[in-house]
Amino acid sequence: MMAALFAAVFIALYVGHSVGDHWVQSSCQSAEKGLPGWVGRFACARHVLGLTLTKGAVLAPVVALLHLHVTILGLALGLGVDAVTHYWADRRTTLQRLARLCDKGEFYSLGTAAHPAHPVTAEGKPAAHLGTGAYALDQSWHHLWLLVAGLLIATV
């Protein structure tokens, strides 16, 4: 029973994350959340607030329609840990430093002009690509903490 509760919660959080991180986040928040100072902090905080509300909006009908037993404390802890860790990573320099510390600095720069093998066309102009190492590391970080949030919500 606990495994099914966790699975339902995790799936809802994962979907909420995808929608909140890509559809709800504004272009301004995306562009400014990594800036230094209060402009970046406020943009990141607005993004994380919208993201957390989106996760709650996706999770609420799942909990109600499937009659899942979750506690207010579990929800607060799970969504709170997820929000704090999301904010931390989305300030960008923090995740970049962690990547370098873990010897993933080159991968972090993959797909950008900073990478030694950055993609270019035959004419030497920037080439289109499907993503960056920074994005892949960002999303995998968020997925790890979605797992932790799901466990907290399902078990507390």
User: Taking phi first (over 0 means left), then psi (-120 to 50 degrees means alpha), and beta for anything else, what does residue 20 get?
Assistant: alpha
69 and 63 Cβ atoms separated by less than 8 Å: no
Q: CA gyration radius for the chain? A: 18
The angle subtended at Cα 29 by Cα 47 and Cα 120, nearest 5°, is 125
- Name which of 54, 13, 1 is nearest 153 in CA terms: 13
Per residue in 103-131, pLDDT (tens digit) is 988 878 776 665 555 666 667 666 656 67
pTM: 0.87
Per residue in 58-76, pLDDT (tens digit) is 999 999 999 999 999 999 9
